[in-house]
Structure 1
């Protein structure tokens, strides 16, 4: 009978709080120079919004072909009339891909081509040729949109 009382007393003393408390154990760890690991990061943090893109507006002073890159050659995609307003990223760099001329041959431009960021405005009278749906379609071409580097503004 005595044999059963000793384990019972041990269990009872642990249950009554004779064992060290969790806070005391944590304090002892911190005093000993042991730091607790940081709490786990939120598994699904809200993504930060993208940084705003700095761009410059360019008003076309002449008619320009806009081109899209297809198999390493810039192919004509549409013609933008005089007065069209486009935007080009300020950090955009000129590309010097060959382009296809109207006679079907390819050439390399001395001025290069700039990627177009957005087409902002088409002059009045051209809405039928370039409706908003067509402009959106052009802006989402897989090869991107490019305009002659001659439009670059210093």
Structure 2
């Protein structure tokens, strides 16, 4: 069940929770996988894959791009991360796996999580329509504080 109010910290994956989950599921915790997990767990900016590859290589210099892509797919399948897909930009990755509002800046591309009340709860959708949501995605497009101060829209 998706809560009406998001407890941001309760839904953000840490290095320890991610590695523990993978260990329980029987995955090998290679240095490369640990590097990708560490990068994601320590980055709240919703990085795109090229950023993840670059940062993972600083921790594990011989990591290949295909290993990063495979690890991202595995983490997504295990519901440890969310992939934010765009049709006209690189996909981004989020360790906050709750249903929450993403604020997306149209000028600089920054994505941040809104910590207030979710626009509509899964419970409300289910009760009023009979539809049973599994996952909900909320996005708001506009301009971040920094871009507004710099003369953005």
What TM-score do the two structures reach when normalised by structure 2?
A: 0.22
User: Larger % of strand: which?
Assistant: 1
Higher relative contact order (CA 8 A, sep 6+): 2
The structure that has the greater radius of gyration is: 1
User: Larger % of helix: which?
Assistant: 2
